[in-house]
Amino acid sequence: MSEKVLRILVAKPGLDGHDRGAKIIARALRDAGFEVIYTGLHQTPEMIAETAVQEDVDCVGLSILSGAHMTLFPRVVDLLAAKGAGDVPVFGGGIVPDEDIGELKTLGVKEIFTPGASTKQIVDWIRQNIQPRA
């Protein structure tokens, strides 16, 4: 019996144009056997949530280096819930100070990968924590 391949949305919210990390993650996840949809840059939280629903993804990864994560990450979480996709886990990475990680998790972000995290760590975390959407 074959397992459903996980579909992962990798997204760049806000005006931040630093996409080196997001592209590396997207490629690493593809190499690890996941289906990856990359949104490209300059996505509003609305656009990301809409794409997540349209593409019927199993989780959403957000990358942000511009310091706007406290506004934009929770906004994505809330919009997914509003669209009936509140069961879709959201994780993220970029420049997120340790002090902010606790609050983001309280607001519904499942995990934050900080500078220095390896692609293996992220792939392993997804394999251990993300299931196909029911």
Partner 1 sequence: MSSGNAARKTQSKRIRPEYATISGMEIDECYRAGDGGGVLGEPGRYPFTRGVYPSMYRGKTWTMRQFAGFGSAADTNARFKYLLAQGGNGLSTAFDMPTLMGYDADHARAEGEVGREGVAVSTIDDMSVLFDGIRLDEVTTSMTVNCSASILLAMYLVVGERQGCSWKKLGGTIQNDMFKEFIAQKEWICPPEPSLRIVTDMIEFCTREVPRWHPVSISGYHIREAGSTAVQELAFTLADGIGYAQAAVERGLDADDFGPRLSFFFNVHNDFLEEIAKIRAARRMWARIMRERFGAKTDRACLMRTHAQTSGVSLTAQQPTNNVVRVTVQALAAVLAGVQSLHTNSLDETLALPSQGAVTVALRTQQILAEESGVVNTVDPLGGSYAIEALTDRMEREAQAYIDRIDAMGGIVRAIELGYPQAEIADAAYAFQQATDAGEYVTVGLNGYTMEEDHKLEILEIDRAIEGEQRERVKAFKAARDQQQVARLLEAVRSAAVEDRNLMPAVVEAVRGGVTVGEISEVYRRVFGVYQDPATV
Please report whether residue 7 would count as binding partner 1 according to CB under 8 A. Answer: no
- Select 1 or 36, whichever has its Cβ closest to partner 1: 36
Please enumerate in sequence order all residues whose Cβ is within 8 A of that of 60, keeping only pairs 6 or more positions apart, or say none.
Answer: 8, 9, 11, 48, 52, 76, 80, 88, 89, 90, 91
Q: C-beta of 37: minimal distance to partner 1 in Å?
A: 9
Could you identify the residue written with the tokens 């806000």?
14
Backbone angles phi, psi at 43, to 5 degrees: -90, 135
**Which position among 101, 108, 119, 125 is part of the footprint of partner 1 (CB under 8 A)?**
119
- Select 27 or 133, whichever has its Cβ closest to partner 1: 27
Q: C-beta of 122: minimal distance to partner 1 in Å?
A: 11
Please report whether residue 66 would count as binding partner 1 according to CB under 8 A. Answer: yes
Each residue 76-105 as x (binds partner 1 by CB under 8 A) or -, in order, gives: -------------------x-xx-------
**Which position among 26, 60, 80, 104 is part of the footprint of partner 1 (CB under 8 A)?**
26
Distance from C-alpha of 33 to C-alpha of 103, rounded to nearest angstrom: 32
Distance from C-alpha of 69 to C-alpha of 93, rounded to nearest angstrom: 9
Q: Specify the stretch interacting with partner 1 by CB under 8 A; choose among 19-27, 55-63, 77-85, 105-113.
A: 19-27
Distance from C-alpha of 16 to C-alpha of 11, rounded to nearest angstrom: 11
